[in-house]
Amino acid sequence: MFKILAGFVAGIVFTAITGYLMMPSMMFKETPSPFGLEETIARIQHNIEGNPELKANGWSLSGLRNPAKAVQTDGGNVLPVMMIEACSTKYSKPILKDDTVRFLSILMPCKVSVYKKEDGKVYIGSMNAGLMGKMFGPMVGEVMGQVAEDQKKFFVFDPNTPAPQMILPTAAPAAGGAGGGGGGGC
């Protein structure tokens, strides 16, 4: 009996440790970009703004942020990091209307980071929306599964098309809203 119990406990501990070690790579994705920082940002922005399927699903840009700027202003020396923010009211509406999952508004708008690493390459960081959604029940799982499918279209790059211009943020509206770059916040 002791061997069975010990084996059961060991199995639980092994599973917990494995899950803990694998969680970061499952929850977030890092993909090398074939382009430089600004071109990667511009291509993602134009994919969001110019894809008819994404437009039909309510996607628009809601901001472009530079989180490295505060560190640099404070005297730190960090490599470039930019956050592209996009939102779809089609997907945010059911979550924002439901009191039991409204706390997930912390995940809105959808953020994609584009950054440079010490190896000199540019990378794209994104959340695994489909997996994340499954942790919060069937409604959120379904919505975030659709977000995950749409996000794939953010990162389709045709190297044969000329590089577009980055869409720079515009001044935020006086009463709320998001900091620029397109159709407003969620």
Kindly write down the DSSP assignment for every residue of 3-35, as one continuous string: HHHHHHHHHHHHHHHHHHHHHHHHHEEEEE-SS
- Would you state the structure tokens that stand for residue 81, as one six-digit string? 């990091």
Q: Where are the alpha helices (DSSP H) in the chain?
A: 2-27, 37-50, 52-56, 67-73, 89-97, 129-134, 138-154
The pLDDT of 72-86, averaged and rounded, is 93
pLDDT value, residue 183: 45
**Band (120; pLDDT cuts 50, 70, 90):** very high
Strand duo 122-127 + 28-32: pairing: antiparallel
The better pLDDT of the pair 12, 157 is held by 157
Lowest mean pLDDT among 6-20, 67-81, 156-170: 6-20
The 10s digit of each residue's pLDDT in 84-114 is 999 999 999 999 999 999 999 988 889 999 9
pLDDT above 70 coverage of the chain, percent: 81
Read off the pLDDT of each residue in 116-143 and give the average, rounded to a whole number.
93
- Confidence check: pLDDT of 78 > 70: yes
Residue environment code for 172-185, b if the CB has 16+ CB neighbours within 10 A, otherwise e: eeeeeebebbbbbb
Spatial neighbors of 10 by CB under 8 A, at least 6 apart, are none
Which tokens is 108 given? 């809105």
Question: Which residue ranges make up each domain of the chain?
Answer: 27-154
Give the pLDDT band of residue 20 (cuts 50, 70, 90): low
Assign 11 a pLDDT band (cuts: 50, 70, 90).
Answer: low
Looking at residue 177, what is its pLDDT? 41
Q: Mean pLDDT over residues 74-87, rounded? A: 94
User: What number does CATH give the domain 27-154?
Assistant: 3.30.310.70
Q: Which one is predicted more confidently, 49 or 5?
A: 49
Predicted TM-score (pTM) of this structure: 0.80
| Predicted pLDDT of residue 179 | 42
Q: How far is it, in rounded angstroms, from Cα 94 to Cα 72?
A: 38
